[in-house]
Amino acid sequence: MQLPAEDEVLLQKLREESRAVFLQRKSRELLDNEELQNLWFLLDKHQVPPVSGDEAMISYEAYLLVGERAGPKCKKFFTARVYAKLLHSDPYGRISIMQFFNYVMRKVWLHQTRIGLSLYDVAGQGYLRESDLENYILELIPTLPQLDGLEKSFYSFYVCTAVRKFFFFLDPLRTGKIKIQDILACSFLDDLLELRDEELSKESQESNWFSAPSALRVYGQYLNLDKDHNGMLSKEELSRYGTATLTPVFLDRVFQEYLTYDGEMDYKTYLDFVLALENRKEPAALQYIFKLLDMENLGHLNVFSLNYFFRAIQEQMKLHGQEQVSFQDVKDEIFDMVKPKDPYKITLQDLVNSCQGDTVTSILIDLNGFWTYENREVLVANDNDSSNAADLDDT
Question: Do residues 163 and 186 both lie within one domain?
Answer: yes
pLDDT at 24 over 90: no
Question: Do residues 370 and 240 both lie within one domain?
Answer: yes
Q: What percent of the chain has pLDDT over 90?
A: 74
**Among 282, 278, 260, residue whose Cα is nearest residue 269:** 260
Q: Is residue 247 situated within a structural domain?
A: yes
Point out the least confidently predicted range of 23-32, 260-269, 275-284, 308-317.
23-32
Q: Is residue 130 situated within a structural domain?
A: yes
Q: What is the CATH number of the domain that holds 166?
A: 1.10.238.220
- pLDDT tens, 139-181? 999 999 999 989 999 999 999 999 999 999 999 889 999 999 9
Q: Is residue 230 situated within a structural domain?
A: no
Question: Do residues 266 and 242 both lie within one domain?
Answer: yes
pLDDT at 110: 86
**Among 275, 294, 295, residue whose Cα is nearest residue 285:** 275
Question: Do residues 214 and 262 both lie within one domain?
Answer: no
pLDDT at 1: 56
Question: Do residues 272 and 140 both lie within one domain?
Answer: no
Q: What is the mean pLDDT of residues 379-391?
A: 54
Q: What is the pTM of this model?
A: 0.81
Question: Do residues 188 and 291 both lie within one domain?
Answer: no
Q: What is the CATH number of the domain that holds 340?
A: 1.10.238.10
Q: Is residue 8 situated within a structural domain?
A: no
Q: What is the CATH number of the domain that holds 88?
A: 1.10.238
- What gap in Å lies between CA 212 and CA 199, rounded to an integer? 14
Domain count, the chain: 3
Question: Do residues 89 and 163 both lie within one domain?
Answer: no
pLDDT at 186 over 60: yes
Which residues touch 86 (CB under 8 Å, ≥6 apart)? 95, 96, 99, 100, 103
Beta bridge mates, 301: 346
CB 250 within 8 A of CB 187: no
- pLDDT tens, 325-373? 999 999 999 999 999 999 999 999 999 999 999 999 999 999 999 999 9
- pLDDT tens, 310-336? 999 999 999 988 888 999 999 999 999
Question: Do residues 57 and 174 both lie within one domain?
Answer: no
Question: Do residues 97 and 213 both lie within one domain?
Answer: no
- What gap in Å lies between CA 368 and CA 360, rounded to an integer? 13
pLDDT at 378: 67
Q: Is residue 393 situated within a structural domain?
A: no
Which range of residues forms the domain containing residue 98?
33-111
